[in-house]
């Protein structure tokens, strides 16, 4: 598992648990899925300016 603190802050700043849960559904692994789903929301939503503005708004 990568740096939990780093991902925690990134994901937190990126999207709420609601959206995180949506991403977690994409993965089946419990532990591996955590950092994977975090990256999912982070990369898919945070990196996307359109999605980012839409979700943050």
The answer to whether 2 touches 35, Cβ cutoff 8 Å, is: yes
- pLDDT for 36: 46
Residues 48 and 25: their CA atoms lie apart, in Å, by: 20
pLDDT tens figures, 13-23 = 454 445 555 55
Mind spelling out the 3-state secondary structure of 11-43?
Answer: HHHHCCHHHHHHHHCCCCCCHHHHHHHHHHHHH
Count of structural domains, the chain? 1
For residue 52 the two structure tokens come to: 């980012």
pTM for this prediction:
0.15
- pLDDT for 7: 46
User: Could you tell me the residue range of the domain that residue 47 belongs to?
Assistant: 4-56
pLDDT tens figures, 2-57 = 444 554 444 444 544 455 555 544 444 444 444 444 455 445 545 555 544 444 44
Residues 3 and 41: their CA atoms lie apart, in Å, by: 16
């Amino acid at each position: 598992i990568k740096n939990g603190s780093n991902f925690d802050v990134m994901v937190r700043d990126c999207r709420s648990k609601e959206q995180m849960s949506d991403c977690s559904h994409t993965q089946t692994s419990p532990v591996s899925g955590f950092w994977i789903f975090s990256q999912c929301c982070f990369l898919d939503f945070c990196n996307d300016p359109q999605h980012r503005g839409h979700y943050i708004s």
